[in-house]
């Protein structure tokens, strides 16, 4: 338990953190990977190169320092991060490594300000935060391990089938090598996967949204082929090198973004590969015969990048489903005239009379810029922010 004096000291360092900015996290990651290169088997190095992970970590440290005397404010963030950590198989001993490098980073960047008293306060503060995560992650691990079909840690799976869904997106179906059942999941959650690409010196871990309803025997993920040697390292390995019968390691489904049945109209809004958790939700609603109206709004570049188009038409027979698609280019004029295909950017005001603006739940997934654009439109149309739910691929970002 932190003392009042330690809390005051940590809060007093907020200006120091703000002035250092991402310098802290850049130095931290450089230091940690230099001393503990084995952690490169866990961290997504593409996020290191893009800077997204550094920004996310800095924001998390700053938020913790700001609210250290009112931790319930951080409950949602803790849950989101804890869920992500279990899909990386993060363990208590790794918190000790991170804490060691964080404290030494602060000492090295601000030797005059980081007195022994400040060091003691931050050491206690970090341990308090680590204990919160360790406890919650332990609960998630235990829940997974004791659920029907559940497990803890890595489990071997075999690629049973694959299917090209569009120019950039390919689906992969995995079944367990031990031929035992697999644990269920909430539509919208993701799956952790560990592979060894031929072009990487390290094992690589990623999370991909599950794109089908839970069935107790297999998992399906649908992966976009990313461009570049860094961003596309794992996706290109899956698209080009993983063959039927090959084995991978999977971690139990996780994630705090998922469909919650409130028996209200539902609006699923996506762009690009953000369609994947929406398909899992739509498949689940169809299988359950969801009685409320469902709207499915999707945006992509053109018809060649429109994943699951045929399946969407099939599901429309099982639900009270209204579907609209926006192509940024190349939309067919006859389809536009029919009213369900649109050209350009997604414009929700054109559907003002059709959308359940007063009582519907809105689920968003896609690039951060797209989701900010859509959230702004929804708020302007009168949708309360408590009814807008979203998923960010990679390190979290606020809309």
Annotated binding site for heme b: 85
Known catalytic membership, residue 137: yes
Annotated binding site for NADP(+): 272-277
Task: Pick the catalytic residue from 29, 137, 219, 327.
Answer: 137
Annotated binding site: 85, 190, 206-209, 272-277, 392-395
Backbone torsion region of residue 179, taken as left when φ is above 0, otherwise alpha when ψ lies between -120 and 50, otherwise beta: left
d(CA 101, CA 173): 39
Known catalytic membership, residue 95: yes
Task: Pick the catalytic residue from 95, 126, 363, 390.
Answer: 95
What residues are annotated to the active site? 95, 137
């Amino acid at each position: 338990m932190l003392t009042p004096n330690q809390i005051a000291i940590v809060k007093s360092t907020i200006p120091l953190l703000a002035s250092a900015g991402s310098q802290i996290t850049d130095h931290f990651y450089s230091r940690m990977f230099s001393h503990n290169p084995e952690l490169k088997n866990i961290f997504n190095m593409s996020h290191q190169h893009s800077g997204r992970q550094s920004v996310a970590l800095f924001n998390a440290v700053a938020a913790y320092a700001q609210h250290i005397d009112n931790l319930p404010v951080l409950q949602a963030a803790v849950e989101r991060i804890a869920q992500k950590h279990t899909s990386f198989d993060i363990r208590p001993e790794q918190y000790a490594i991170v804490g060691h490098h964080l404290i030494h980073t602060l000492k090295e960047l601000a030797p005059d300000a980081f007195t022994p008293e400040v060091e003691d306060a931050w050491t206690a503060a970090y341990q308090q935060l680590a204990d919160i995560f360790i406890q919650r992650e332990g609960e998630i691990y235990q829940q997974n391990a004791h659920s029907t079909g559940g497990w803890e840690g890595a489990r071997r799976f075999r690629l049973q089938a694959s299917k090209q869904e569009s120019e950039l997106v390919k689906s992969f179906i995995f079944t367990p090598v031990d031929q035992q059942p697999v644990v269920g999941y909430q539509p919208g959650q993701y799956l952790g996967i560990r592979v060894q690409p031929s072009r990487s010196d390290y094992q690589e871990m990623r999370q991909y949204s599950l794109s089908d309803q839970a069935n107790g025997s297999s998992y399906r993920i649908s992966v976009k082929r990313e461009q570049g040697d860094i961003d596309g390292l794992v996706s290109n390995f899956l698209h080009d090198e993983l063959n039927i019968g090959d084995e991978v390691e999977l971690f139990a489904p996780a994630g705090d973004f998922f469909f919650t049945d409130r028996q209200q109209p539902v609006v699923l809004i996506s762009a690009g590969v953000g369609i994947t958790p929406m398909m899992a939700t739509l498949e689940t609603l169809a299988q359950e015969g969801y009685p409320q109206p469902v709207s499915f709004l999707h945006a992509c570049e053109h018809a060649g990048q429109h994943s699951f188009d045929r399946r969407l038409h099939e599901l429309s027979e099982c639900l009270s489903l209204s579907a609209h698609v926006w192509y940024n280019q190349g939309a067919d004029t006859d389809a536009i005239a029919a009213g369900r295909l649109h050209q350009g950017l997604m414009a929700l005001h054109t559907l003002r009379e059709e959308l359940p603006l007063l009582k519907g739940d809105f689920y968003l997934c896609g690039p951060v810029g797209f989701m900010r654009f859509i959230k702004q439109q929804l708020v302007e149309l009168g949708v309360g922010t408590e009814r807008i739910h979203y998923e960010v691929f990679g390190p979290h970002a606020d809309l």
